[in-house]
Structure formats: C-alpha cells, structure tokens
A and B are shown apart, each in its own frame.
Chain A
Amino acid sequence: MNLLKLSWKNLTNKPLNMLLSLVLFGLGVGLISLLLVLNDQLQEKFEKNLAGVDLVIGAKGSPLQLILSSMYHIDAPTGNIPIEAATPFLRDGHPIIETSIPLSLGDSHRGFRVVGTEPEILDLYNAQMAEGQMWEKTMEVVAGAAVADELGLKIGDTFKSSHGFDQNEDLIHEDAESFIIVGILAPTGSVIDQLLLTRFSSPWAVHEHGHEEDDPDHEGHSHDDHDHEGHDHGDSEHRHDHSSGTEEPYPEDLLAYKDKQITSILVKFKGHNIQALNMQRAINENTEMQAATPAIEINRLYALMGTGTKALRWLAIVIIIVSGLSIFISLYSSLKERRYELALMRVMGASRGRLLALIILEGLLLAVLGYLLGMTLSHGAMYLLADQMKETYQYTFSWTNFLIEEAYLLGGALLIGLVAALIPALQVQGMDISDTLADG
C-alpha cells in the first residue's frame, strides 16, 4: 500500500471536511485563474486590434468611446464628421500620414456591424481574401471570417441591414436595396473577422432609401422614427436616383462627396516625429473634430478596469489564504483524532520521515485537487462567459487557452498545501509513540 493511496483514503474518510477545503481552495484558484485568462484575452484583443493605428479622428465626445467604437466596434460612435472637414487627413500625399482609412458606421446585420470603408482597411489588419473578390460597387460586401461562419454566408448571398447595432427585426431597412456578399476574408483573429465591410457609399445608399417617407407609394419606415444609439448615417441630402443596384449611385471617389459625412478616420503616421505628436492637439484645439490616441485610451481603460480587477484579485488571495487555513485546521484536527493510528503505524515499522511524508502528501493532495477544481471552475466560467460576450460584443473568447501563469498558480497552490501541512506533520514527527499508546 503506497502513501498516496493511504493519503487519499484518509482524506476521503472525512468527506465533508475535504469538500469544504476543496471548495474554498477551488474558489480562490478559480477566481485568480479567471482573472488571468480574461485579462490576457482582453489585452490580446485590444493589442491585436490596435493594428498600428496611431490616431483616430471623429466627432467630438468621449475619446475612449471614439476608440472603442471605431477600433474595437464595441460602443456607439460619438457622431459623424463632414467629409469636407476630414479631407486634409484623407487626401493622398499628406506629409506625415502614411495611411488613413475612413469608416462609416451605423448599421448592422444580425448583430454584426456593417462598415462603409475603403479596401485599404484589409492591409491594416493583414487580412486576406479567402474567396470571392473585393467590392467594386455600392452595396457589395466583403464578410469577415467569423461573420461568414456564424451566419453561414456564401458568395452571392444577400441581406438587408438594420439600424443601429442591436438585433431588432423592426429596424431592418426593408425598403433599401439588399447588400450582396462578393467576398469572404480568411480569419485574422482581429476585429475585422467580426465585420461586414462594404464600399464607403453603401451606408449612404441605404440611408437614402429610408428617407423616402414622402413617397406615398413607399411603405417603408422612417429613420426619423428611430432614435437609437449609434445610428447616424451622416448624409445631408437625399438622392433617389439609384433604384436597380446595377447603376452605380456614387461613381466618384470618397472625397468627391464633400457634403456627406463619415463616422471616423483611422490614421497611421509615417513616423513619430514632433509634427505627428502635435497633430492630435491641433485637431482637438482647432477643428470641430476630435482626435484620440488608441494606446493612451486603452491604457486608460486598463487603469479603469484595473481597480475592479485588483479588488477581485485581493478577494481571491484572501479566499486562498482562508482555504489554506481550512486545510491546516482540517489536517490538524484530524491528526488529533488519528494520533493512535499514527503511533500504530510507527509500531508497524513506519519511520518518522514516512509519517511526515504522509501528512505533507495529504496537504499537497488537497491543494492539487483544489487547483484542478479551480481550473475547472475558471475555464468552465470562461466557456459560459465566452458565449455571452460573443453575443454582446461579437468577440471570440477561448475557454481552452491555458496560460503559463496558471502553471505558476499550481506552484503557489502546492506551496500553500505544503505550508498548511507542515505544522501538523512536524507535530506527528515529534510524537512519542509509547506515551500515545499508553494513553490509549
């Protein structure tokens, strides 16, 4: 009979004591592991989606909101900006801007955002076409890999978008022309996987149909009836001359439509010189627009999240200490009850070292089982959370990702098990068998 089997039998002989220690330990480990995994995946998403963007220009409002809506697509936009005002930043040959990508937000399809933009957005996220081709005309769509997968989209499929970012059948643009899928992207692991990309002019085309409420034959709903977050297509005039989809309603380049609006611009600088650094301040002080630096805003977000995370982490540490104490109490009290049998084991030939190893093994066994329970709880919670977060934010979170920090957590768990078992173990080592048996 080996020590491991004996330790296991001793622990399971008092199942309720063991369960209490395990649940406490599992909760502490699970909470820390969940925080680590969640934090890691959020950071990875945030960092991957920075995509080298140095500056985001949009309507005045919260800079964090501008970053979250334009780069991470998890918040409502701050508003729209006129193309006329944005032209200096969108024009080719800017001395300090390497790339600038316009974005028009406001519509979605079954929870996935429809983004009017330029084809260069693919380079920003290193996205490759998996099948089909890039859009050439208004209403043609290239679907991100996750959207295509989730909605089962194929080349040639059509859909009508709906206002805003919520799934609401009542908000579908029934009267607008349908979007048509012409391309599907290969997965990148970035936010682009979650987007339906289309030509910059598509949101204008959809919006204009929605404003045909004056037309007595048009039974569609009015955009003005919908007051919902994030919906502002930003056109300032109505055009009703595109009815078939075969005729391109906006044949010119974006900058030709100076009276129209877009939501934001993603800017990548050529280099980080003083002019580049000053650009944000210059825009904020001298224009009706705002400019925000993603890295700064994301750090601010981390700091905001950090307070809550820190509090939870301390709570988890306290739970682990309490669970360590519970292992100690459980071993200590069980040893008091088991002193005769431990003395008997000495009589049967067990050395002091063997008894020391037995008690320490019981502590370690509890720690390992508690750790395994904690891992199961944390990754199980991540599995449930991943589904919920995907539903809310369209981001994919993995419950199967294990971190090296979780291996360190096992080391910490073993250390706590060892420390909790050490005092009872040393007490057993110093036990006088003759005295103990004479008492019995």
Chain B
Amino acid sequence: MLKTENLGYAYAGSPPLRFPNIDCAKGEHWLVLGESGSGKTTLLHLLGGLLSPKEGRIVLGDTEMNQLSRSALDQFRGQHIGIIFQTAHFVQSLSVGDNLALAQSLAGMKVNRERIRELLSRLGLEHKLRSKPSQLSVGEKQRASIAQAIINQPAVILADEPTSALDDSNCKQVIELLEEQAQAVDATLLVVTHDARLKDHISHQISID
C-alpha cells in the first residue's frame, strides 16, 4: 500500500538523511520511532509529498508520488493522504465545520455537510460545528485536527508526534482515538514519534537513527 525504497533527503549544509524502507499494507498501523533530530518529521513530510526526496521512491497504491507534477501531487495529497501535525493548524476565519468543508473542497471533492456532521459527532465535537478554532480547548483542537485529516477518507494517515505533550491517560485516549478513526476509514496509519509509550499500542514498528 505505502512503500518506500532507498529514500534519502539532504538539507543544505547538513549530512544526508537516509531512511529505512517501509512497506505498509492497507489498514495496517505503524509506528516510526526516533530521537529528536533523527529526521522523523522530514520522513513524514516526504511521505506526505510536502518535500521531494533527493533519492529513492515513494509509492502509494499504484502511484509513484515523486513522479507526479507539482499540481498533481497537491491534488493527490488532498485526496489520499491525511496529515496530523504536532500543533493543530486551522483556517482561523472559518468555523470548525467550514474548515472540514474547505478540506473537502481543496481536495477537489464535493462538500458533504452530512459527513462533516457525522464525523464531528463521532469525535464528540458536534456542538463545535459552528465554533471558531480559537474557541476550542487543546483537546478539542487535537480531535478537530484528526477530523480534518480523515474527512476525505484518505488511504494513509500520517501523524507527527500526536502524543508527545500529553500525560499517560490522554496519550492512551488519543492513540486509541487515532487507531479507531483510521480503522473506521480503513486507512493505513503511520505515527511518527519519539514517545516510547506508544510501543505498547502499535505493533508494527520501525526505528530511525
């Protein structure tokens, strides 16, 4: 489903980063573990098509992502990849519901208000449909960013350090929620983290140094 081969990237003036090959099947949940500075976020950005690899290839389904043109890659990412960032980002001028509608619209999909309502309800955020992002608590923001990532029922969900700032109880809640939602849309989940607590939750694991 999601496969990388000999993936490498280099920032100007820094030694090149090389990543282990990944081969995740549809619906599998994977953990990518690594210390700070090991290149975890770079890997996530490469997998999400936010960076172009200097070498190697990334294949999602039947599509070799690094062969796509810039605009085709943008569209592909919107439709097939959902990304959850360490800090939740939203369009501040829009309500939570409109942020999800924007995600549908930018991916070239039809805005489906019913799906938005249903998804927010599943995440316990139905009452926040018309709230602005600034009116959400930290936990609500995290759930809203999960909704934003899965609204288009992506093939792959990439999560960057989703639990690193949380206590044990919240960490468990969030990772369970992520796994549950990925399962609901039958997506491959890949969590990039240095949080060792997640080792007990996700069996497929890769370490990067």
Contacts and interface: CB of A to CB of B under 8 A. Distances in A.
Contact of B93 (A12, A346, A350): A12
A44 interface: no
B83 A347 contact: yes
A1 B111 contact: yes
Interface stretch (B30-38, B60-68, B72-80): B72-80
B91 A341 contact: yes
Interface stretch (B97-105, B169-177, B180-188): B97-105
Given A1-B98, A438-B41, A349 B92 contact: no
A353 B72 CA distance: 12
Contacts of A344: 89-91
Interface in A346-386: 346-354
**Most chain B CB within a 10 A radius of its CB, from A2, A12, A354, A433:** A433
Interface string B189-201: 0000000000000
A82 B104 CA distance: 89
Nearest to A8: B93
Interface string A1-29: 11000100110110000000000000000
B87 interface: yes
B166 interface: no
B20 to A, nearest CB: 20
A9 B94 CA distance: 7
Nearest to B94: A9
Given A1-B101, A1-B111, A351-B71, A13 B92 contact: yes
Contacts of B79: 349
Given A13-B93, A348-B102, A351-B71, A437 B50 contact: yes
> Residue among A10, A338, A433, A434 with the most chain B CB within 10 A?
A434
Contact of A349 (B41, B85, B89, B107): B107
Given A351-B74, A433-B50, A345 B106 contact: yes
Interface in B86-137: 87, 89-94, 98, 101-103, 105-108, 111
B53 interface: no
A214 B48 CA distance: 109
Interface in A56-80: none
B94 A348 contact: no
A341 B106 contact: no
Contacts of B83: 347
Contact of B102 (A13, A340, A345, A438): A345
Contacts of A338: 91-92
A171 interface: no
B51 interface: yes
A343 interface: yes
Given A9-B94, A341-B92, A349 B50 contact: no
A137 to B, nearest CB: 77
Nearest to A9: B93
B91 A349 contact: no
B45 interface: yes
Contact of B89 (A6, A350, A352, A437): A437
Contact of B74 (A12, A341, A350): A350
Nearest to A349: B78
Interface in B12-53: 41-42, 45, 48, 50-51
A1 B105 contact: yes
B204 interface: no
A10 B93 contact: yes
A358 to B, nearest CB: 10
Contacts of A430: none
A340 to B, nearest CB: 5
A440 interface: yes
A125 to B, nearest CB: 60
A172 to B, nearest CB: 67
A12 B87 CA distance: 25
B91 A345 contact: yes
A346 B74 contact: yes
B76 to A, nearest CB: 8
B85 A437 contact: yes
Contacts of B75: 349, 351
Nearest to B79: A349
Contacts of A354: 106
Given A433-B50, A434-B45, A341 B108 contact: no
Contact of A440 (B48, B50, B71, B85): B85
A353 B148 CA distance: 22
Given A12-B93, A340-B89, 18 more contacts: A1-B101, A1-B102, A1-B105, A9-B91, A9-B93, A9-B94, A341-B90, A345-B106, A346-B74, A348-B102, A349-B78, A349-B103, A349-B106, A350-B78, A351-B75, A352-B70, A434-B42, A440-B85
Closest 3 pairs (CB-CB, A-B): A349-B78, A13-B93, A349-B107
Interface of B: 41-42, 45, 48, 50-51, 70-71, 74-75, 77-79, 83, 85, 87, 89-94, 98, 101-103, 105-108, 111, 148
7 contacts: A1-B111, A346-B50, A349-B75, A349-B103, A351-B74, A352-B71, A440-B87
